[in-house]
């Protein structure tokens, strides 16, 4: 058979591949925006909670270290394995040494009230595996409510702290 079919032409093949790639990109953008990928809320910003925050910071992982949420200048590093949020390098866990923590499993990003209510009934000083897309409500030792999102490859975190009160 010597007839040329649709995929036998170089131009047609390249057009088909380009169309397929465009469709996959559009699907990915849609899924991120809907919060299906990265467990984010609407708008595709997986690390930010609902409501107005007082302090916000994107942090990289630095071995075993803590994060303090009650400082005058906001979110600060606390070397060693103490702080309101602690990353344990040898075990790939995160938890709270000085405050309480609970995993957020809601479909949408939490508000301050959502986290405060969940921490009141279920907050503890336990640990959780560090997994991409993990989301956590945290209560600092000074009583602040915060939200932690594990983003990137598990080596980058978004921390948001709401105003106390």
* 123: confidence class by pLDDT, cuts 50, 70, 90: very high
Lowest mean pLDDT among 1-5, 115-119, 120-124, 156-160: 1-5
Pairwise pLDDT comparison (134 vs 3), residue with the higher score: 134
What is the average pLDDT score of the chain? 77
Domain map of the chain by residue range? 1-33, 53-162
pLDDT at 55 over 60: yes
**Which residue carries 């200048």 as its tokens?**
73
Question: In the predicted model, what is the mean pLDDT of residues 93-106?
Answer: 91
One-letter-per-residue 3-state SS of the chain: CCCCCHHHCHHHHHHHHHHHHHHHHHHHHHHHHCCCCCCCCCCCCCCCCCCCEEEEEEEECCCCEEEEEEECCEEEEEECCCCCEEEEHHHCEEECCCCEEEECCCCCCCCHHHHHHHHHHHCECCEEECCCCCEEEEECCCCCEEEEEEECCCCEEEEEEECCC
* Mean pLDDT value across residues 62-67: 75
Q: Are 145 and 159 in contact (CB under 8 A)?
A: no
- pLDDT-derived band at 36 (thresholds 50, 70, 90) equals very low
Whether this model's pTM surpasses 0.85: no
The better pLDDT of the pair 35, 75 is held by 75
The answer to whether residue 14 scores a pLDDT higher than 60 is yes
């Amino acid at each position: 058979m010597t007839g040329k079919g649709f995929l036998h032409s170089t131009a047609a093949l390249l057009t088909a591949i380009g169309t397929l790639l465009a469709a996959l990109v559009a699907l990915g953008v849609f899924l991120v925006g809907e919060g299906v990928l990265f467990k984010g809320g609407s708008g595709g910003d997986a690390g930010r909670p609902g409501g107005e925050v007082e302090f916000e910071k994107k942090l990289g992982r630095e071995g075993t270290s803590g994060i303090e949420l009650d400082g005058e200048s906001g979110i600060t590093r606390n070397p060693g394995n103490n702080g309101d949020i602690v990353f344990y390098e040898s075990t790939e866990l995160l938890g709270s040494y000085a405050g309480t923590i609970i995993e957020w499993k809601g479909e949408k990003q939490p508000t301050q009230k959502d986290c405060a209510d969940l921490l009141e009934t279920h907050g503890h000083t336990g640990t959780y595996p560090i997994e991409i897309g993990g989301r956590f409500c945290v209560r600092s030792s000074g009583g602040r409510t915060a939200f932690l999102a594990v983003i990137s490859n598990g080596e980058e975190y978004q921390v948001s702290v709401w105003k106390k009160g």
